[in-house]
Structure 1
């Protein structure tokens, strides 16, 4: 699963697998925590993160929603996603 961004100890990944289940989403990892975020709504789908890291990940997703959807389209076609600028 390619890493598409890393910031403040938060790792953002997207499965590189055609046919990955909808809705369009990405995976967030922070220490021992894991979560899945819906790209279209920028809401937590499952898992959990500490409050601060969840806010950072969701803010990042809102800023890069268009790029995340482009990456989702790529991985659905079996192509590697592009890296996305980290939150600064």
Structure 2
């Protein structure tokens, strides 16, 4: 699962061909050994849990990069390469 972004200790990944379990476009956010899955569409947490302060950063990042994330998702579900997306500063 490629890393598409990193910021403030959070690693954002997107699986290839990962539309079976959650059935909607989503990302995986990892922080200090914990992982949560978030919808690209509305930022809803689909599973898992990370520190609240980092979750707020992930949700802001999703909102800022929603179009880029949707484009990356479309590539990922077809097995194509994904370009990195800028993190938060």
How many residues matched? Answer: 87
Partner of 2:34: 33
RMSD of aligned C-alpha atoms? Answer: 1.0
Q: Distance in 2 between matches of 1:16 and 1:56?
A: 24
| Contact persistence 2:10–2:30 (CA under 8 A) | yes
Kindly state the Cα deviation for residue 16 of structure 1 after the two structures are TM-superposed: 1.8
TM-score by length of 2: 0.93
Which segments of 5 or more consecutive residues in structure 1 lack a partner in the other structure? none
Tell me which residue corresponds to 2:58: 57
TM-score (norm 1): 0.94
Q: 4+ residue stretches of structure 1 with deviation over 6 A? A: none
Look up the match of 1:82. 83
In 1, distance between residues paired with 2:43 and 2:66? 8
